[in-house]
Structures are given as structure tokens and as C-alpha cells.
Amino acid sequence: MSAAAYAPAPGAILTARDVWVGVQVGNLIKPIVQGGRLTVPTGGILGLVGESGSGKTQFVRMVMGLSSLEPGVFSGSAIYKIGDTEPVDVLDQIQEFSPFRPPGVDELYPERQRIGWAWPLWRRRFRQRLALLRRLGVGFIFQNPVGALNPYLRVGSQLVEAVRVARPKANRAEAEEGALHWLAEVHLKADRHTLGLYPHELSGGMAQRVMIALALAGEPKFLVADEPTTGLDSHIRLEIVGLLNRIMGQGDLSGIVISHDLPMIARLCDRLAVMYRGRVVEEGPIEALGNLKSPNHPYTRELKERAEALAQGKHRRSGSERADAGGTGVVVGRGCIFRTRCGLYARAKAGSGILDTARCEGDLPALDHIAEGHEVACFAGTKLTEAATWEYGEADHD
Amino acid sequence: MSDFEFKDPSESEEPQGSFVSRIGKGAVKDLITTVLRWRHADYRLLIGSSVLFVLVVFRIAAIFIDVDQLESYLDSDDSGGFRGGGAAKHVTKYCRAVPGLLLGNDRNGYSLAMTIVEAVEAFFEPAMLSCAIAILAGTLLGAVAGYFRGGLLESGIKLSLTVVAAYPRLILVIVAMGFFVAYMHDPGGAIRLRLTMMSTMLGVAYVPVLALAIYQKVGQFQREQFIEAARAHGLSDKRILLYHILLANCAPVIARHFFYLFGYFILVETSLSYLGPQYGVPGSMPSWGNLLAGCSKGDLFSPAVLAPAMAAITSILGLTFLGDAIGERFEKGRT
């Protein structure tokens, strides 16, 4: 698809389409995000869930321009429309400049293409576009706050810098005032002592709060939180979720929350996207997550069941888990990538299902509308409601 | 009434007798504690900073010392030295103790101690210049190549650094100095020019060492999450490179190499001056290398050999210690 074909979705602050991300393994490029797509409405918070290795963090990092992988992203579009500004596509013309092209239908791996010396030039343009994006107001909360703070600089220096990015005309004293303000915002002691601490002198919870303060100091309009509660104890986790809830609930802040923690996603987000093995398999309203009886992709259903089981203190071993417990982005060839774990597929194989197994084995399902604002990548499509009814009875419509 | 009885402090039983017994066991304990505490002190920092302090003091003193204006204790017939002048007062054999002269006299008959102090002039500023050249060029090239990886810029810089690094530094400086002096109109005259040439050559020869160290460090830091975070917070490439990587994280490397090169310059200057006036400092200028060059086999254990040799060894060792200690302190202090 040519770059010109991409357009921002109406009312969306971020529209990402057909994003391919890969890592080099020996001589091969292993795709870890395959045709990823997201839509974040202005003022909305999207939750991105999926098991470890499903590519959610890499997908969002590439869309945010935080490339730490080579060759990184090699196809797609990520259009930001922030406020009244012109839309900015950070991946504009990526496919023409990238040394790799996405694999075709019958190909497992992307192929190298001749681009000469243009790739470094594109990277430069990419960074320029990202700098523009940062000025427009995009923030990021990292998963590992201690690693994301410069160990050789005091908290104060780092906060003052972030304040100055948002307010370039602020002098040192004003920037320090700003830093103290953001410390108070994240419920840290706003004094010179805290500003003078080095990252290794902070506890996990304090470091995460400083990380959030750093992201907020840029006065973002679009904020991404990458597993913000990972590695924190339950008490601190609750505090951080409460803090994020307060921050994301105020004003016109939009964003993405990446997490494994479904209850947290349900509390913070308006919409949900589910990734499995580098692909977005479902995108829809958060209500679809909260209700077990609502139609969902079989993988989302599995996630929900496990979260329920954990919450109720029991662990149910599902049929799909027996078949395949891994999820490291391995390309399984043609057909639906989830079929080896899919309960619906297993039932259809046994002769009593709603799925056409030949189709599951031959084609890759694309995201398909099953309801207003709800897309699922499954051949069952609207019959998923029927599947939910089998297992859980009639859906609640109140 | 309570059993408590007020005791006048003046009537207290203070230990009587000798000073040692008066200061009591507490003071001895304090002394032992102090010694034990010193055991954990960084001796490299202590030795290194002392050496640097002495060198600075010598350099300041050298401003006021002009050995040529002092009395010469050399017999007028014994004209083996390069520097003339000064009225011969005593007939003394070279490098023998002279009453009133600390360490005796050098081969020109001047005070050896004063000559050693004045000889600091021969390397102090040139070493600084050499360090400035190496740090400026090395840091710039290493940082650019490390930060903008994967392009022609990186390949070009790395190739040129490898070519320069492939040539042994000392040989490079000797060859360059040999050519330079051979084509000079007045080799004995332009001392400052020769020293500038020497420091420039050594600075350039040291650039690859520092540049490759910075290149590796920058490359290593570029993969760190805090650099990614700095980008995410909207900092420019220039700001990240200069402040977050070079100033905050590469300062230990730069500080360490500054002192290494300072020490290395002393070694090179002494070696070249020892080789002869066509390579190093001309004989008309006091230098530790010149002092060593003028000694014969019989003087091997005389102060004229031992003093400049020890001065050079102590300085190089002290500066290397200082570089190590400061580098480690930078790193330890904040992590």
C-alpha cells in the first residue's frame, strides 16, 4: 500500500496502520509486529493487552519513534493529529527507505530490498519528525523507571530539563518551580532534597512517580504508559493506578496503557486492543472486556477467563493452553495464527462448531466489524455472540 | 535526700604523669580508629593529588627561577654542558655533592634541584595543550561516530582512527619531530615551536585512544533505556549527546584519559630529550630528559641520574593513579 493511501481516522489522535516491525536473527528478519493497527480517539485511553512477547511494547515504541531495534520498523503509517495542528505521519515513506519489505501472503520472512545509502537519511528525517511530535506533546512512561532515569544525573536536573522542553523560555528558577510542582502532582515530597536525589537513591514506587512526573512535565496531550505497575508491590501498585486514573481522567489527555493487568486496563481505559503474536486480534470498547458474555476473540476470552480465575483464586486449565503455551512471535505459516490454541477451532474440528476449519487453516483473518466500534480478527465474526451464549448464557443488555 | 553526690569537675581524677598517660586510653583508641579509617582512604587519590600539587608548585616556582643566572660550580675547562655562562667558583667534578647545593650540581655546574624544578616548564603547558587537542578531537570524533551509527560518517571516522592508531604513538612522534627539526632553519632556537609541535603530534597520536573509548561508551549508552527516555521526553540529539552522554556519563573516561595523557607526555618528552636535541627539547632548556642524557655510566647512582629519573617516574605514576582514582570516584559516587 502506498504511503498516500493512509489517512487519519476521523476524531482520532493516533491512527496506526499496517505497521511491520522486525528484529534481525542471523540472516533473517523475524517480524515481531505484523500489520499492527491502532486507533486512539482524541480524549480516549486505549488499553493494549497481550501476553509477553506478543509485540505490544515494540509496536507502541515504533509508533512513538523510540526505535532501539535494528532494522526496526519497515512498513506502515502512524499519523498523529494533535489539536489544530497538521497531521504528522512519523513513518511517512518508510517502505521506500527501508531495507526490507513486508512478506507476501505465502512468505514467512521479509526480504531485503536495495535502497543504497538512503536508510540513514530516512532515520534523520524520522528523528526530525519525532522532535516535532515531542514539541506537539507526546509523553511516555517507561516500564522500568530506574533504568529510564539517567543514573548520573539528579532527579532535579532531569525534571528541570523536561520542564524546559515544554517551556523553552523558562529560566532556571521557573523550571525548578515547575519541577517541584510536578513532584507534588505525583504525591512526592516537593522539596530541594528530593530534587537532589540520584535515581539509585529512590525506591521502586518513588522512581515510578518520578518517571510519571517526567512524562507529565512535558505537558503531554498524548501519554503512553508501558506496564506502569510491573515490579511494584500491591500497595504501591494501587497507588500508582490511582494516580494514573486521576491524571488520565483529567482534561483532554489521550493515551495508551500497555499492561497484562486486565483490572487496571478496565479501570483506566475506554477502549481495548488485544495483540497476539504480533497481530492485533481485537479492538473495541472496554465494555467488551468487562462482560464475560459479550462477543470476543477466542484469545481475549481466554485472557478474561484467566483473569477471572485468578481473581477468584482458582486456576482453570483451558483446552487451548494444553495445545500451545508459548507466545514468542513465531510465524506459524498460513492460516489463523491462533488456531492451535483456539477452543472454537478445536470444537469445529470435533464437528460441532461455528467455524469453517478449512478457512482457518488456509487464510489469515482480518479485523472485521462485529458491532459499532468493535472489530475482531476471527472468521466466526458475528457468530461469536452465539459462541459466548453457549458458554455463559444470554448476554446482559442492561 | 538522694544518694547522688555532686562532684566538682576540677577534682576529678585526671591521669597524671607523662603526656601519653595524660591523653589517656581514649586518645590512643581515637588514634587507632583514625589509622584504621585511613586504611580505607584512596591512596591513589592522595598520592596523585600530591604529585599534581607539587608539579603545579614547581611550575609556579619555575617562573621565578632562571638557572642560567645562578652560580655555576663548573670548572671553566670542563665545558661538556650545553649551557654556558655563570662564573665558575669551585672546581668540582660533575654530579658530586657540593656544600650548600641540595642534590649537588648538574653537568653545567648549576644546582640540580633548581634545574629539576625549572625543567617542569618543559612539559607542563605542552602537556596541557596535548591533552586539550586529544580531548577536543577525540571526544568529538568518538561521540559523533558512536551516536550516528550505521552511516558513512561512522565508517569514515572509524577508518581514519584505525589508521592513526595502527602506528605506534611514540614512533609517530619521533618520526614527526625528526622531520620537523631537520627542516628547521634554527633547530636550537625555536624551543616553544618545537614543544608546540611535540604536544600537537602527541595529542593527535592520542586522539584514536580517547575517540575509540568514547565511541564504545556512547554506543553502550545509546542502548540504555535512559537515552531512549530522554528522546521520549523531547530532548534534542545534541542535548542528549552533550549533556546526558558526554558530560554526565563520559566524564570519568575523559578525566581518566586527561591524566593518563599528561603522564604520557612527560614520558615522551623525557624520552625524546634523552634521545638528543634533534628530537626533544634543545639542550639550552632545562629538561628531565636532558639531565639524564648528560650522564655517563659512572654516574648511574648519582643524584644527577636518580633525581630526574625519580621525578619522572613519580610524576607519571602519580598522574596515572590520579586518573584512575578520579575516574572511579566519578563512577562510584553516583551509582
Tens digit of each residue's pLDDT (9 = 90 or more) over B72-120 = 555 544 444 444 444 444 434 444 555 556 666 666 667 778 888 888 8
CB contact under 8 A, B225 and A140: no
Decide if A68 touches B, using CB distance below 8 A.
yes
The CATH number of the domain holding residue B220 is: 1.10.3720.10
Write the CB contacts of A116 (distance below 8 Å, at least 6 apart in sequence). Answer: none
* Mean pLDDT computed over B38-61: 85
Contacts of A214 in chain B (CB under 8 A): 229, 233
Q: In A, residues 175-204, which contact B (CB 8 Å cutoff)?
A: 198, 200
Answer whether B305's CB lies under 8 Å from B299's CB: yes
* Out of A120, A153, A214, closest to residue B151 by CB: A120
> Nearest residue of A to residue B229 by CA position?
A148
Which residue has better confidence, B101 or B12? B101
Average pLDDT (B252-275) is 90
* Cβ contact B232–A127 (<8 Å): no
Q: Is the pLDDT of residue B1 over 60?
A: no
**Residue B327 forms part of a structural domain:** yes
B87 lies in the same domain as B219: no
Same domain, B89 and B197: no
Q: Are residues B182 and B236 in the same domain?
A: yes
Question: For residue B183, what are the domain limits?
Answer: 123-334
Long-range contacts of A353-356 (CB under 8 A, 24+ apart): A354/A380, A354/A383, A354/A386, A354/A387, A355/A379, A355/A380
B69, B89, B118: which is the final residue of a domain? B118
Please tell me the total count of domains within chain B. 2
pLDDT, position B139: 93
Q: What is the DSSP string of B187-200?
A: TTT-HHHHHHHHHH
The pLDDT assigned to B245 comes to 86
Q: Are A302 and A341 in contact (CB under 8 A)?
A: yes
Q: Are residues B275 and B193 in the same domain?
A: yes
Residue B217 lies in a domain: yes
Where is the domain boundary, B118, B135, B153?
A: B118
Interchain contact B332–A (C-beta under 8 A): no
Q: Are A354 and A360 a contacting pair, CB within 8 Å?
A: no
Give the start-end residues of each E strand in A42-174. 45-49, 71-80, 88-89, 100-101, 111-112, 138-141
With contacts defined as CB-CB under 8 Å, which chain A residues touch B237? 127
Domain contains B233: yes
If 0-12 CB within 10 Å is exposed, 13-18 middle and 19+ buried, where does residue A288 land? buried
- Is residue B119 within 8 Å of B291, Cβ to Cβ? yes
Q: Is residue B198 domain-shared with residue B276, that is, in the same domain?
A: yes
Residues B113 and B89 in one domain: yes
**pLDDT on residue B113:** 82
> What pLDDT score was predicted for residue B136?
94
d(CA B65, CA B30): 44
Q: Has residue B32 been placed in a domain? A: no
Q: Are residues B228 and B259 in the same domain?
A: yes
Q: How far is B175 from chain A (nearest CA, A)?
A: 39
Whether residue B295 sits in one domain with residue B237: yes
Same domain assignment for residues B102 and B153: no
- Mark the ranges of chain A whose per-residue pLDDT is less than 70: 1-5, 27, 67-73, 95-100, 104-109, 111-123, 251, 289-293, 313-333, 386-398
Cell of B335: 551509582
Write down the pLDDT at residue A314.
Answer: 62
- What 3-state class would DSSP assign to B93? coil
The region of weakest confidence among A139-143, B29-33, B167-171, B248-252 is B29-33
- Same-domain pairing of B232 and B94: no
Residue B332 has what pLDDT? 64
C-beta contacts of A118-122 below 8 A and 24+ residues apart: A119/B150, A120/B148, A120/B150, A120/B151, A120/B152, A121/A97, A122/A93, A122/A94, A122/A97, A122/A98
> Is position B36 within any domain?
no
Among B68, B75, B67, which Cα is nearest to B92's? B75
Q: How much is the average pLDDT of B19-31?
A: 59
Could you tell me if B244 lies within 8 Å of chain A, comparing CB atoms?
Answer: yes
Asked, for residue B28, whether it belongs to a domain, the answer is no
Q: Contact, A145 vs A208, CB < 8 A?
A: yes
Residue B19, in any domain of the structure: no
% of chain B beyond a pLDDT of 90: 21
- Identify the band that residue B2 occupies on the pLDDT scale cut at 50, 70 and 90: very low
Whether A130 sits inside 8 A of B231 (CB atoms) is yes
Shared domain check, B130 and B106: no
B180 shares its domain with B278? yes
Nearest CA of chain A to the CA of B144: how many Å? 14
Determine contact: B242 vs chain A, CB below 8 A. Answer: no
Write down which residue in B101, B118, B135 finishes a domain.
B118
User: Is A140 close to B235, i.e. CB distance below 8 A?
Assistant: no
Q: What is the pLDDT of residue A358?
A: 84
